[in-house]
Amino acid sequence: MTEYTTLLTETRGRVATITLNRPEALNALNSTLVRELIDAALAFDADPGVGAIVLTGSEKAFAAGADIKEMADQSYADMYLGGPFPGWGGFERMRTPLIAAVSGFALGGGCELAMMCDIIIAADTAKFGQPEINLGVLPGFGGSQRLPRAIGKYKAAEMILTGRMMGAEEAERSGLVSRVVPASELLAEAAKTAETIASKSLPAVYAAKDALQAAQEMPLAEGLRFERQAFAAAFATDDQSEGMHAFAEKRAPEFRHR
Ligand code: CAA
């Protein structure tokens, strides 16, 4: 397994966990961390033995944003060319479901990283925010696009224009997180969710993730057409036959692809 300087990685059964590990900077996303994170995530994504990935940070911070000190002296051209953070495209196109397990601060790029995941499970201590406005800039890892889609224009505008943080309870009420759990149970709950997903048919999981992605990107009519095709295509897999016959025979399915 590759050794990283800013991450810890482990695999248990079909669940991989990536832990952001720059405690001295509250897991601020510097160029090394971003490069290592994308590398680790894509390696797990390419491994058919991995059915779901948990992404987490420390108790105090999931991630406190892009690394401000590293960015401070960048120019327009530096940032336009990818700056210290090139290459999110592959991460955003991963097929394996990603579960963000968020404790403490998820700010700026940290909040945006959580929003790149499919599911966000938050500890009751979690704090979300897009404070870039306080630095004289705006969100740069997708926050101005994903936050309004998640919580609506008006709440997103208030957060992005004022830099206000939102606690876990408000985040759940607003639709930013899937579920809030006590901090002490965060990793166990995220692992349980990941194990559940990893026990399903992999082609069905990939297709469902694709369809959910389409819902974010396509107009409704196009998304519905996409879903109709994907649903029909599921009937070309032996896992569809197994899943439906297992139900009729009152037994647990034995999916071939998982
Ligand atoms: N970049 C670089 N270093 C950071 C950092 C960041 N985003 N966030 C925290 N750190 C560092 C601090 O500088 C400090 O380092 P030193 O001990 O060497 O001084 C260390 O982490 C601990 O932080 P604090 O002492 O500030 O801890 P705190 O508990 O008093 O405050 C906090 C916590 C409220 C999260 C505060 O650290 C903070 O406001 N951080 C910045 C949050 C932010 O503005 N994020 C957005 C970044 S820009 C961005 O993300 C752009 C984008 O969309 C791509």
**What residues are annotated to the active site?**
66, 109, 112, 132
- Measured in angstroms, how far is the CA atom of residue 71 from the centroid of ligand 1? 12
Atom of ligand 1 nearest to the CA of 109: 50
Which fold, 7-199? 2-enoyl-CoA Hydratase; Chain A, domain 1 (3.90.226)
Domain 202-249 has CATH 3.40.50.720: no
Could you identify the residue written with the tokens 């669940």? 15
Global pTM?
0.97
Could you identify the residue written with the tokens 């952001």? 20
Task: Please count the CA atoms within 13 angstroms of the CA of 111 that sit on its side-chain side.
Answer: 33
Indicate the domain borders of the chain. Answer: 7-199, 202-249
Summarised one tens digit per residue, pLDDT across range 10-28 is 999 999 999 999 999 999 9
Summarised one tens digit per residue, pLDDT across range 94-135 is 999 999 999 999 999 999 999 999 999 999 999 999 999 999
Distances (CA, A) of 162 to 10, 89, 105, 155, 251: 38, 28, 17, 11, 54
- Measured in angstroms, how far is the CA atom of residue 55 from the centroid of ligand 1? 20
As a whole number of Å, the end-to-end CA separation of the chain is 22
Query: Is the distance from CB of 16 to CB of 45 less than 8 angstroms?
Result: no
Nearest CA to ligand 1 atom 2: 67
Q: Is pLDDT above 90 for 87? A: no
Structure tokens at 240: 């569809």
Structure tokens at 52: 């779901």
Pocket residues for ligand 1 (CB within 6 Å)?
25-26, 28, 64-69, 105, 107-109, 112, 131-132, 135, 139-141, 143
